[in-house]
Chains A and B, each alone.
Chain A
Amino acid sequence: MFPTLLFYFFAGTLIAAALGVILARNPVYSALLLVLCFFNSAVIWLLLDAEFLGIVLVLVYVGAVMVLFLFVVMMLDVNLEELRKGLASYWPLAVAVAGFVVFAMINVIMVKHLGGMSMRTAPPLAVNYSNTRELGTALFTQYSYPAQIAAVILLVASVAAIVLTLRRRTGGKPQDIAKQVAVRAKDRVRIVKMASEKRQ
C-alpha cells in the first residue's frame, strides 16, 4: 500500500517534470527539471530494489552530466526566439517519432511473443539479495568482454573529443608549470650582504 502510494507520487512528479523540461521557457529551468526527472526515476528504481542502478543514475547523470549541461546552458546565451521559429513546421515529424516510441514501448511491455514481459508482480527477492553484487557478478563474468569493449569505445570517444577541440592559439603566453615547479630559490633571489649604514 505505502510503496504503491510512493510509486504514484514519484511517477507523477516524474511525468510532470518531464513535461516541464520541454515546456519551460528558461533553458536553465529545463535543465533543472531534467535533474528532477533523473532523481525521480532513481527513486522509482530504489522502490524496485535496484539500489545500485538508482544511486549510479544520480551519481553519473545528476552529479556529472547535468552539471556540465547546466554549465553550457548558463555560458551560452541561447536565443529562444530563433529556436522556436521552426516549431510549427516540425511538429508532424515530432508526433510521428513520439507515436513510434509509444508503440514500441507498448509492444515491449504488453506483447509476450516479442519477448516482452507481461504485467505481473515480480517474484519476491531473497532477504540477503544485493543488487550491487548481482550486477557486478554479471558484468565481470558473463558480460566481461562487452563491458571492456564499451569502455574502450568510451575512451576513444573522449580522447577524440579532446583532440577535436584542442586548438593552440598563436601568440598566447601560457605558463609552463613544470618549469615553475622546478624553480629553486637560488635561481630567483640573490642574497646580498651589506654593511649597515649610518643614518644621514
Chain B
Amino acid sequence: MWEWSPLRDWVSGIITPYWTYPFLLIVQTLIVVTCLILTMAFYTLAERKVIGWIQARRGPNRIGGLLIPGLAQPFADVVKLMFKEIIIPADANGFLFRLAPFLALVPSLAIWAVIPFAPEHAFANIDAGLLYILAMTSMGVYGVILAGWAANSKYAFLGAMRSAAQIVAYEIAMGFAMVGVLMAAGSLNVGEIIRAQQGLFGWNWTWLFPMLMVYFISGVAETNRAPFDVAEGESEIVAGFHVDYSGMAFALFFIAEYVNMILISALTVIFFFGGWLSPFDGWLPADSWLAAPGFFWFGLKTLVPMFSFLWLRATFPRYRYDQIMRLGWKALIPVTLVWLLVEGFMVYFQVGPWKGHL
C-alpha cells in the first residue's frame, strides 16, 4: 500500500526482505481495520446523538466525563456486549449459526482493499476494482440469509427473506448506477474513476445527478437502513434476521451494518464527489494546501453521506414492503436506464465532460 518509510526501514532492518512486504501489508491492514472499527464505534454514538438532537432529546449523555457527555458510550456498549452470553437456540443449526456473523462482516471489510484513501494509497490497485466492489457487496447477503435460516425461527426467517429480496433487487439499480460512473470514467479502476473527475463542477454529481440519487437510495436500501429497514421492522418481526443472536455474535452484525454504511458513503464520494480530490482544485493556486488532494478531503466528504444516513433515519417513516419493491423495480431502474441512454448520447456527441473523449 503506501510507502511509509520509517516503518518500512525499521521492519526491513529486523526481518529478511522477503517477508517485509507481507509483514507491512498485515500491519497496514490492521491499522485500517482498527480505524474503521473506531469510526464505526463513534458512528453509533453520532447516530444516537444526532437523532436525539433532531428529535429534541439529548441522546446518550452519562458516560464520558465532562468534556463531551456520552463520549465513552460506544466503549460501554462494547464491554456490555462482550460480557453477554452467546445463546445458541436448541434447534438451531449450530455451525451455520456461528458462521453467519462472519459471512456478514468479512465482505464489508474486504471491500476496503480497493478503496483509495489518498492518491496512490490503496491496498490493491486492481483493474476491475468496480466489479470487485459489486461482487463483494453481493456476498454480504449470505450472512443475512444464513443467520435467518440457521436460527430456526419464523421471525428471523421472515426478516432474512425480506432483506435478501431487497438486497438482490436494489443491487440491480446500484449496478446500473455504477455502469453510468464507469462510462464517465472509461475505466473500472477506482483510482482512474477519481482522476477522471476534474474540478468541483466536473465531478460526476453534475452530469450523473440521477445516478447519484439512485446510487445513494439503493445504498441505503442495501444496508437495510431506515426508511428501508423492513428486514428488522421491530413492530412486525421483532428484529429480523438477527433476533436470536446475542452478545458479540450480534455485535458482529452490528459492526457489519455500520461498516457498510461508512463504505456506501465512501463509495458515493468516490464515484460522484471526486474521492480525494479537493473541491478548490482549479479555484485556488495549485500549491495551496486547500487545493491539494489527500485523505483530508476524502474523509471530510465521506462525513456528509454518513450524516445523511442518520438524517434519513430520523426524518422518514418506514416504507411498506410492496412500496420498497415498487420503488426499486419501477422507479430507480427505469431512471438509470433512461440516464444510461442519455449518457450514451452525451458520449457519442462528446458533450460536457466527454469532450474529446473518443
Contact = CB atoms under 8 A, between A and B. Distances in A.
Given A59-B131, A59-B138, A177-B323, A64 B145 contact: no
Interface in A111-153: 130-133
B188 interface: yes
Given A51-B128, A130-B127, A62 B135 contact: yes
Interface stretch (A15-23, A66-74, A90-98, A186-194): A66-74
Contact of A28 (B138, B149, B157): B149
A45 B16 CA distance: 31
Interface residues of B, number: 26
Interface in B130-153: 131-132, 134-135, 137-139, 141-142, 145-146, 149
Interface in A29-58: 32, 35, 51-52, 55-56, 58
A51 B93 CA distance: 35
Residue of A58, A59, A64 with highest tally of chain B CB at under 10 A? A59
A58 B135 contact: yes
B326 A51 contact: no
Given A51-B126, A55-B131, A63 B322 contact: no
Given A51-B128, A55-B128, A177-B326, A70 B135 contact: no
A52 B128 contact: yes
Nearest to A52: B128
Contacts of A63: 134-135, 137-139, 141, 171
A130 B188 CA distance: 11
Interface residues of A, number: 23
Contacts of B96: 28, 32
Interface string B166-187: 0010010000000000000000
Contact of B139 (A32, A62, A131): A62
A4 interface: no
A35 B128 contact: no
A51 B127 contact: yes
B113 interface: no
Contact of B135 (A55, A68, A133, A177): A55
A89 interface: no
Contacts of A165: none
Contact of B161 (A32, A58, A71, A133): A71
Contact of A59 (B134, B142, B188): B134
B164 interface: yes
Residue of B126, B127, B145 with highest tally of chain A CB at under 10 A? B127
Contact of A56 (B131, B157, B326): B131
Contact of B128 (A67, A70, A132, A177): A132
B157 to A, nearest CB: 8
Given A35-B142, A59-B135, A132-B188, A74 B326 contact: no
Contacts of B127: 51, 130-133
B142 A67 contact: yes
A177 B74 CA distance: 41
A133 B188 CA distance: 10
A28 B138 CA distance: 19
18 contacts: A51-B126, A52-B128, A55-B132, A59-B134, A59-B135, A62-B135, A62-B139, A63-B135, A63-B139, A63-B141, A64-B138, A64-B171, A67-B145, A70-B142, A70-B145, A71-B164, A175-B322, A177-B326
Interface of B: 93, 96, 126-128, 131-132, 134-135, 137-139, 141-142, 145-146, 149, 157, 161, 164, 168, 171, 188, 322-323, 326
The 9 nearest A-B residue pairs measured at CB: A63-B138, A59-B135, A58-B135, A55-B131, A74-B149, A55-B135, A130-B127, A51-B128, A132-B128
